Amino acid sequence: MRYDVVVIGAGPAGMAAAIAAYDEGATVLLLERNSELGGILPQCIHAGFGARRFKKDLPGPLYAYYFVQEIEKRSIDVWLESFVMDISPSRRVTVLSTRGYEEVEARSIVLAMGCRERTRSQLNIPGTHPAGVYTAGTVQRMINREGWMPGKRFVILGSGDIGMIMARRITLEGGEVVRVVEALPYLTGLRRNYVQCLQDFGIPLFLSHTVTRIDGYERVEGVEISPVDENFCADKSKSEWVACDTLLLSVGLIPENELSRRIGVVLDPVIGGPVVDQHGQTSVYGVFAAGNVVHIYDLVDDVSQDGENAGRSAARFARSLAGWQEPSLSVHWRAPIRSVVPQRVFLGEGSEKSLSFFLRVSTPCESSVTLRLKSEKRVFYEKRFPYARPAEMIHVHIEPSPVSHWLQYPPKSLVWEMDYDA
């Protein structure tokens, strides 16, 4: 079997990529290991999705449904319960499904595998290994999809968005969240979720604290919580034992890049996703990437846009098969900026219109900051923001794109920097 574009993963990024590639004239196969389309969205039954795209405050399943409808209107081949095991350098995709192993040839590929949660084993929390330690996303699925309540009295470690949303959900379902504990001195999720999910429900947040021991034989009986200093060293003299039967971990998401690694895609060492250009093109010829597999987005609207961009570009690549990747410029950045996507700017066909960047800072800058993109001679973008916080991605849209200028006068360096009061 041969397709112009094969999309791996049918979350919002993959669905948008498949639709855009099809609309660009490509034959498209969408592969998903789950038994339904939508990725993480079907279990996110809270509102907060689609404010920009649909001008509505939608729950996750409805946001996904709008895209499923669009897929059904098109002749896009969708294989569910189909797990992609491998991709060869010549873009042969090995799929394991109920039919057995199959190989599909792709002229171009969009990686849209999303991300997964950090687990207890990645945190090395001392103590026993009883039942009752879950990641927040797993509990979200249990409660919202399976109808199970996994405990009565919860401690949540980590102030990420999923953890805070689950604190509210558990409370609404009759459980008790005794506290949310965060090792950093600031919140790692969005402020709106802190207000709507913790403050509104009277759930206490303990910043600069962590769980230093898990106790319990068959089931969690309690956890030890200790304050930590700026190097995350716990002060055990001030530890407190808190009775609970469930510990929820909301301690970060990791882009799911086993496949990307296997085909030699260069990954960003800080964020763990592929290094991409503004078309979602990775370092491997004909392989594109979009959504949480590249970096963890705050908003699904941005994920869908990213998917569309990568899908459209993958279809154009499949048509021409030449002239992509070079020339391109590397993008650099300085602290307190932690990450920038895209990390490269492609200086070829279709790059002149507009240019979008997503940036995150590594430390909270609570007074006004000035963000700037410059080369050695010229400033291409400059804007003041009232603050910059690690949990809140900064989206910069530059229109018209400076690419035409860079084609004429290629800069030696392209740097993002931020002025702020330390």
What is the C-alpha separation between 66 and 14, in angstroms, rounded? 14
What is the C-alpha separation between 35 and 24, in angstroms, rounded? 27
Q: What angle do CA 383, 387, 392 make, to 5 degrees?
A: 100
User: Any idea which residue has 């001679």 for tokens?
Assistant: 377
Told to check if 345 binds ligand FAD by CB under 6 A, we report no
Told to check if 414 binds ligand FAD by CB under 6 A, we report no
User: Stretches 110-118, 125-133, 238-246, 353-361: which one binds ligand FAD (CB under 6 A)?
Assistant: 110-118
Cβ(110)–Cβ(17) below 8 Å = yes
User: Stretches 36-44, 267-275, 334-342, 384-392: which one binds ligand FAD (CB under 6 A)?
Assistant: 36-44
Binding residue for ligand FAD (CB under 6 A) from 3, 6, 7, 9?
Answer: 9
Told to check if 24 binds ligand FAD by CB under 6 A, we report no
What is the C-alpha separation between 28 and 354, in angstroms, rounded? 26
Return the DSSP state at 324: -
Binding residue for ligand FAD (CB under 6 A) from 44, 211, 265, 337?
Answer: 44
The residue count of the chain comes to: 422
Binding residue for ligand FAD (CB under 6 A) from 6, 13, 181, 276?
Answer: 13
End-to-end Cα distance, the chain: 57
Instruction: Give 39 or 274: the residue with its C-beta nearer to ligand FAD.
Output: 39
Sketch the per residue contact string, 246 through 285, with ligand FAD: x for CB under 6 A, - otherwise.
Answer: ----------x--x--------------------------
User: Stretches 222-230, 278-286, 298-306, 392-400: which one binds ligand FAD (CB under 6 A)?
Assistant: 298-306
What is the C-alpha separation between 364 and 421, in angstroms, rounded? 11
Instruction: Give 358 or 420: the residue with its C-beta nearer to ligand FAD.
Output: 358
What is the C-alpha separation between 332 and 343, in angstroms, rounded? 7
Task: List contacts with ligand FAD (CB under 6 A).
Answer: 8-14, 31-34, 39-41, 44, 48-49, 83-84, 112-114, 137, 140, 161-162, 165, 256, 259, 291-293, 297, 299-300, 303
